[in-house]
C-alpha cells in the first residue's frame, strides 16, 4: 500500500451510508447504547434484556456477509465494550478481562447463531451479578475490603489471619471480630469457601487430578480436601465431577449445603 493510501476509501463509506438510507436502516443511537451500559453499571436486570434485544443485525449493522460470523462479531464488540464499563465500576480488571476472554473463546467455538445468542444472555447475566456482588463489597470498611481483596488474590496459598492483621496494623482478635461482623463468616471460613468454590470450577471445567487440585488450593493433603469438600457440598470431589462435569457457565454459584 502506498503511503497515504487508505484501505477503505471515503467513497466506500459514502456508498454504505447511501445503502443504509435506501433500506431505512439506522444504527442504535448513542443514547440507547449509553442507557444499556448505565443499567449494567447499576446492576440492573434491564441490561440483560437490552443486550438480548440489541444483538440483532437489523439494529447494529452488518459486520460480515456470513450470518454466523456476523453475530459472532457483534457479540465480541458488545462484550468488549461492556468490559470497559465494568472496570469503571471498580471490579478488578483481571477478573473482568478473564470473564470476557472465556466467553469470547466459547463464542468462537459456537456452531450456530442460537449458541451465540445463549452465550450473550449468559455473559450479561454474569456481568450484572458481578456488579451486584461488587456493590455489596463496597459497603465494607477499609480494613475488611483489604482482607477480601487479599484473600481473592492469595486464597491458593498459605494464608493466616495473623499475617493479614499485621499488614494493616490491627490486633488479630479485633480483626477476627470485625471480619465476622461485616461478612457473616469467620476469616478461615471465608478462605475455605473461596477454595471450595474454586475447586468446583476446576472439577467441572478441567481434568486436573484430585491431588493437583488439593495442593493447588493449599490443602495440606488430598484427604483434607475431600473431607472439606464433602462437608460443604455433600459430595466427594469424584462424585461432584461425575455429576456436574462441563456444566453450563452460568452455574457460577456451586451447590453448597
pLDDT in tens, 31-75: 556 667 778 888 888 889 888 887 776 666 677 889 899 899 989
- 60 and 149 part of one domain: no
Residues 45, 96, single domain; the answer is: yes
Nearest to 77 by CA among 58, 66, 65, 61: 61
Is the model more confident about 17 or about 177?
A: 177
Secondary structure letter of residue 98 according to DSSP: H
Range of the domain at 53: 24-137
Residue 108 sits in the same domain as residue 148: no
- 38 and 112 share a domain? yes
pLDDT digits (tens, 9 = 90+) for 195-210: 998 899 889 888 889 9
Q: What average pLDDT does this structure show over 148-165? A: 89
* Same-domain status, 150 and 125: no
The widest CA-to-CA distance across the chain, in whole angstroms, is: 72
What's the rounded mean pLDDT across residues 136-149? 84
Same domain, 86 and 44: yes
Q: Kindly tell me if the per-residue pLDDT of 111 is higher than 60.
A: yes
**CATH code of 191's domain:** 1.10.10.60
Q: Which residue bears the cell 469438600?
A: 229
Asked if pLDDT for residue 251 goes beyond 60, the answer is no
Q: What CA–CA distance (Å, rounded) separates 207 from 209?
A: 6
17 within a domain of the structure (yes/no): no
Q: Do residues 201 and 150 share a domain? A: yes
Name the CA radius of gyration of the chain, rounded: 23
**pLDDT class of 27 with cuts at 50, 70, 90:** very low
pLDDT band at 14; cut points 50, 70, 90: low
| Cell numbers standing for residue 28 | 442504535
Helix residue ranges, H only, the chain: 10-23, 30-41, 46-54, 57-60, 67-88, 93-108, 113-137, 142-154, 161-167, 172-183, 187-205, 210-216, 222-233, 237-244
* Residue 8, pLDDT above cutoff 60: no
Domain count, the chain: 2
Domain membership of residue 14 (yes or no) is no
In the block, residue with C-alpha cell 454474569: 126
How large a percentage of the chain has pLDDT more than 70? 80
Same domain, 77 and 117: yes
Same domain membership, residue 149 and residue 125: no
Distance CA 216, CA 155 (A): 10
Amino acid at each position: 500500500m502506498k503511503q497515504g493510501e487508505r484501505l477503505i476509501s471515503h467513497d466506500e463509506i459514502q456508498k454504505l451510508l447511501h445503502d443504509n438510507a435506501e433500506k431505512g436502516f439506522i444504527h442504535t443511537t448513542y443514547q440507547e447504547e449509553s442507557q444499556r451500559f448505565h443499567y449494567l453499571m447499576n446492576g440492573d436486570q434491564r441490561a440483560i434484556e437490552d443486550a438480548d434485544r440489541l444483538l440483532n443485525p437489523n439494529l447494529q449493522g452488518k459486520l460480515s456477509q456470513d450470518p454466523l460470523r456476523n453475530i459472532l462479531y457483534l457479540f465480541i464488540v458488545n462484550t468488549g465494550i461492556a468490559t470497559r464499563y465494568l472496570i469503571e465500576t471498580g471490579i478488578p480488571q483481571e477478573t473482568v478481562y478473564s470473564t470476557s476472554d472465556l466467553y469470547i473463546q466459547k463464542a468462537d467455538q459456537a456452531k450456530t447463531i442460537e449458541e451465540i445468542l445463549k452465550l450473550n444472555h449468559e455473559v450479561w447475566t454474569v456481568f450484572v451479578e458481578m456488579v451486584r456482588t461488587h456493590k455489596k463489597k463496597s459497603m465494607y470498611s477499609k480494613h475488611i475490603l483489604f482482607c477480601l481483596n487479599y484473600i481473592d488474590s492469595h486464597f491458593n496459598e498459605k494464608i493466616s489471619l495473623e499475617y493479614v492483621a499485621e499488614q494493616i496494623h490491627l490486633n488479630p482478635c479485633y480483626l477476627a471480630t470485625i471480619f465476622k461482623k461485616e461478612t457473616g463468616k469467620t476469616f478461615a471460613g471465608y478462605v475455605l469457601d473461596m477454595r471450595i468454590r474454586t475447586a468446583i470450577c476446576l472439577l467441572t471445567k478441567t481434568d486436573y487430578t484430585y491431588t493437583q487440585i488439593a495442593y493447588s488450593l493449599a490443602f495440606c493433603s488430598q484427604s483434607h480436601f475431600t473431607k472439606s469438600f464433602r462437608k460443604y457440598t455433600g459430595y466427594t470431589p469424584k462424585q461432584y465431577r461425575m455429576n456436574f462435569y462441563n456444566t453450563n457457565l452460568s452455574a457460577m454459584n456451586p451447590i453448597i449445603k
